[in-house]
A = this chain, B = another copy of it.
């Protein structure tokens, strides 16, 4: 059997017909209900130049497919005019093991499913009225996380923090072209003061925000930290939060913000809940407008499974139609 192979243009076109937030909500529920098989993430690290490749894979019991996703991140690529990320998603039939689909998404679907997870976290955990969206990081996720919030909140005001003014200006120009108003800052405190929905989307290994600056009624989605080394939030922030949710508590034991706060003793692993249990209603999300809530997103294979199956089924049906 020859696999069907689709490229990035076809994948982007297909996404116009789809609702990734809904697909990934269903995935998080299946994951938290234990209806999935998701082995630990496979990882390759490189030093010179620095880079990493992650292999995320698994399946939902009873589904048609199992999925293997490979995504790379080589941040020095940008110096040479090459995108930092690349990758693909592979779909195999659960009944025969046959390779049935290849999505040459160049890492794009990883960006989509990550942004969709941020929107889901905000939907169930952010305060009812978002005044301003604070964003750390001017990269792809700094942009896409905001774009996927469109379905969750009418707020179009962004405060952006970057490493320098040039970076912030480029972000401002891009996002204003998309209809947002953007205020740049180099001072993290300003974000904490002005924004009640904050997204951290950096590869930082040092906390970006201080605990004393976080006001009641703030939700933070930390999605940049996906290794044991990376760290965007001061563990004290998790210590004072009213609600902490992780996308996968199993992964959060070994990487990300929850891992950091547990290893410094600010919280115990008993405190965080799993996002899928909030989505399903098994565990309540935000209870009042003055709670401090935190979502720690490390990126789970269930997101890759859901987004790739949705895109592949859509493209396959068209492909057959054209024959």
Are B51 and A77 in contact (CB-based, < 8 A)? Answer: no
- Quick check: is A179 within 8 A (CB to CB) of the other chain? no
Proximity string of chain A (88-119) to chain B, C-beta cutoff 8 Å, 1 when within and 0 when not? 10101011111100101010000000000000
Proximity string of chain A (60-94) to chain B, C-beta cutoff 8 Å, 1 when within and 0 when not? 00000010101011100100101001111010101
Return A47 CB to nearest CB of chain B, in Å: 9
Return A300 CB to nearest CB of chain B, in Å: 15
Which partner residue on chain B sits nearest A7 by CB separation?
Answer: B2
Are A3 and B59 in contact (CB-based, < 8 A)? Answer: no
Return the contact of A82 from the options B46, B88, B90, B98 (Cβ within 8 A). Answer: B98
Which partner residue on chain B sits nearest A43 by CB separation?
Answer: B39
Are B87 and A66 in contact (CB-based, < 8 A)? Answer: no
Interface residues on A, range: 35 or more
Q: Which residues of B contact A87 (CB under 8 A)?
A: 99
Return A60 CB to nearest CB of chain B, in Å: 12
- Quick check: is A5 within 8 A (CB to CB) of the other chain? yes
Copy total for this chain: 2
CA distance A98 to B37 in the complex (A): 28
Are A70 and B43 in contact (CB-based, < 8 A)? Answer: no
Q: Which residues of B contact A57 (CB under 8 A)?
A: 42, 44, 55
Return A20 CB to nearest CB of chain B, in Å: 22
- Quick check: is A30 within 8 A (CB to CB) of the other chain? no
- Quick check: is A310 within 8 A (CB to CB) of the other chain? no
Q: Which residues of B contact A92 (CB under 8 A)?
A: 53, 70, 72, 86
A and B contact pairs by CB, cutoff 8 A, 28 listed = A1-B86, A3-B104, A5-B5, A37-B44, A39-B42, A39-B43, A42-B55, A42-B57, A44-B57, A44-B58, A46-B66, A46-B94, A49-B96, A51-B96, A51-B97, A53-B92, A55-B57, A70-B90, A70-B92, A72-B99, A82-B96, A86-B96, A86-B98, A86-B99, A87-B99, A88-B99, A99-B106, A102-B102
List chain A positions with a Cβ less than 8 A from chain B: 1-3, 5, 7, 37, 39, 42-46, 49, 51-53, 55, 57-59, 66, 68, 70, 72-74, 77, 80, 82, 85-88, 90, 92, 94-99, 102, 104, 106
